Amino acid sequence: MVTVYTDLMDRDDTTIRAMSFMADMDVDCDGAEPNDPSGQGQTTWGYLNADQVPFYVLPQSLVFDETDGEFVQPNSLGAIICGGKMFYAIMGDTNGDDVEHIGEASILLAQTCFPNDNLGGNNGHTSLDVAYIVFGDAVLPGDNQMTIDIQALKDLGDRTVREFQ
């Protein structure tokens, strides 16, 4: 069972909401990825290219809460710690309402985290050793696009992680 932790930091006029969890890393090829075994032509928020965009996937129930509204916006920043390194990614897709099915990333992010594991749509990283830190209020502009500005993602990630320390 996966436990999801939430946190809230108020600093001056900035509120940063975060949640974190440890999980495995299944591989999402939805969107513009031609090798997608599910055949889904798009992600929840558009046609992200899973080969070019580092994104993570959350259950719908963690994205939208009927009481509090949307916690995680499309393109919300995530700091993913895997394979001994930290990578930034955006919230790019949902996978239903079951919190038990948590821990999924685009094929680009999965292969970046574990380059020697031959990961793909039918082969994910099965160890529960990946940390996902999601910053629900830190949103990279430009949703509904196939690719993102990687340097802007890095800048947003560095700035947000510094503020959250």
The model's pLDDT over 114-159, given as tens digits with 9 standing for 90+, comes to: 999 999 988 999 999 999 999 988 888 876 667 889 999 999 999 9
| CA nearest to 132, candidates 62, 51, 53 | 62
Fold of 5-164: Barwin-like endoglucanases (2.40.40)
For the ranges 13-17, 33-37, 41-45, 77-81, which has the lowest average pLDDT? 33-37
Contact in structure between 73 and 138 (CB atoms under 8 Å): no
List the one residue out of 102, 103, 106, 132 whose CA is nearest residue 119: 106
Higher pLDDT, 94 or 144: 94
Residue, of 164 and 11, whose pLDDT is higher: 164
